[in-house]
Amino acid sequence: MQRIGVLTSGGDASGMNSCIRAVVRKAIYHGLEVIGIRRGYSGFIDADMGPMNLGSVADIISRGGTILHTARSERFKTKEGRALAMENVERFGIQGLVVIGGDGSFTGASIFSQEHGVPVICVPGTIDNDIAGTDYTIGFDTAVNNVVDAINKIRDTATSHERTFVIEVMGRNSGNIALAAGLAGGAESILIPEIPFNVEDICKKLLNGIKRGKLHSVILVAEGAASGLEIGQQIKALTGFDTKVTILGHLQRGGIPTAFDRILAARLGARAVELLMAGETHKMVGIRAGEIVATDLTEVLGKPSPINKDMYHLARILSI
């Protein structure tokens, strides 16, 4: 193998740049050339790509987002679109591909590899931490820290005004961000899609807190579980409490990646290059119990990534 391509696809995640940097520099260290594919599969089809060198990835390790940019592509979901991408593979002499993204990006990579025989190694980059086969995905730790920082600031106002605050966080259909940030931020209640909840029970907990002298409460809601606005309205109607709602939205995604995300991204990116050099394909690199592992994409795609119920129960106990 002499030349590989690298792209980022789907939602951006802090740490992607660290992964790109690792792929480029690891490949060059071993004498490989690297083609950077811009704007995900859209750029793959449109030939929006070019060679990368050591300088291409200088000073990006601390930057959020992705220097290769990212986009979702409906055209790549078609055979015709993937055929155009294959023409560019041949035109640029790409012999292997590193795809950094989430489940949708992996599905596209899997189909493309099987149709055209191009070796593909995937790297999990998504704030949602909802990919099977890995304990953590690139960007999750940064997103959690962003939410905890917001909780800390909102709690100051909640305390000053003796109010109840409902904070809605991202995560698609996963409650991982809400759970981790809620435990770290001391939220009184954490609502996630994986575990049923009752608003009346939440209100009872709030009322009991008031009886014992509690002046404020913070409730975290995962977007896949419910609307933060609706939960806030229900709480206000049932308790009469002055309830405010904050929807953090895309504030969670960006920002300087944490050291954990930078290190994880570097290790995964470097391992992806090693796997391509070893002739491997149709694999995802991940981390389990601190060790970098490779899992076949058939064991990853469409498979559930279960919530840590022990952590959820601990959060409930500590929020009494």
pLDDT above 80: residue 208: yes
282: left (phi over 0), alpha (psi -120 to 50) or beta: left
pLDDT of 72-83, one tens digit each? Answer: 899 999 999 999
Closest of 250, 195, 186, 259 to residue 218, by C-alpha: 186
- The angle formed by the CA atoms of residues 311, 312 and 314, to the nearest 5 degrees, is 65
Q: What percent of the chain has pLDDT over 70?
A: 100
pLDDT above 90: residue 161: no
pLDDT above 90: residue 302: no
At 249, the amino acid letter reads G
Q: Which residues participate in the annotated binding site for ATP?
A: 11, 72-73, 102-105
Neighbours of 87 (CB within 10 A): 12
pLDDT value at residue 160 = 87
pLDDT of 261-294, one tens digit each? Answer: 999 999 999 999 999 999 999 999 999 999 999 9
Q: Which residues participate in the annotated binding site for substrate?
A: 126-128, 163, 170-172, 223, 244, 250-253
pLDDT value at residue 127 = 97
Residue ranges matching CATH 3.40.50.460 in the chain: 144-253
Closest of 97, 14, 10, 106 to residue 49, by C-alpha: 97
Q: Which residues participate in the annotated binding site for ADP?
A: 21-25, 155, 186-188, 212, 214-216
pLDDT of 211-252, one tens digit each? Answer: 888 878 999 999 999 999 999 999 999 999 989 999 999 999
Mean pLDDT of the chain: 96
pLDDT value at residue 254 = 93
Closest of 60, 49, 54, 48 to residue 32, by C-alpha: 54
Q: How confident is the model at residue 140 (pLDDT cuts 50, 70, 90)?
A: very high
Neighbours of 59 (CB within 10 A): 9
- Catalytic residue, from 128, 130, 141, 261: name it: 128
Q: Which residues participate in the annotated binding site for Mg(2+)?
A: 103
Strand 243-247 versus strand 33-37 pairing type: unpaired
Rounded to an integer, the average pLDDT of 18-36 is: 98
pLDDT value at residue 101 = 97
Rounded to an integer, the average pLDDT of 184-191 is: 96
Question: Given strand 164-169, what is the order of strands in its sheet?
Answer: 189-191, 217-222, 164-169, 243-247
Q: What is the distance between the alpha carbons of residues 232 and 228, in angstroms, rounded to a whole number?
A: 6
Residue given tokens 């449109």 in the structure block: 46
Strand 217-222 versus strand 189-191 pairing type: parallel
Rounded to an integer, the average pLDDT of 25-44 is: 98
Q: What is the distance between the alpha carbons of residues 17 and 65, in angstroms, rounded to a whole number?
A: 7
Say how many residues make up the chain.
Answer: 320
pLDDT value at residue 193 = 97
CB 192 within 8 A of CB 222: yes
Q: What is the distance between the alpha carbons of residues 13 and 15, in angstroms, rounded to a whole number?
A: 6
* CATH 3.40.50.450 for domain 3-139+257-299: yes
Q: Is 141 a catalytic residue?
A: no
Residue ranges matching CATH 3.40.50.450 in the chain: 3-139+257-299
Query: Any idea which fold 144-253 has?
Result: Rossmann fold (3.40.50)
pLDDT above 90: residue 162: no
Cα torsion 12, 63, 145, 227 to 10°: value is -30
- Is the pLDDT higher at 209 or at 139? 139
Residue given tokens 């709480």 in the structure block: 235
- When mean pLDDT is compared across 11-15, 18-22, 215-219, the lowest value belongs to 215-219
pLDDT value at residue 257 = 98
E strand spans, the chain: 3-8, 33-37, 49-52, 97-101, 120-124, 164-169, 189-191, 217-222, 243-247, 283-288, 291-296
DSSP state, residue 145: H
pLDDT above 80: residue 167: yes
Neighbours of 244 (CB within 10 A): 16
pLDDT value at residue 211 = 86
- When mean pLDDT is compared across 118-132, 136-150, 203-217, the lowest value belongs to 203-217
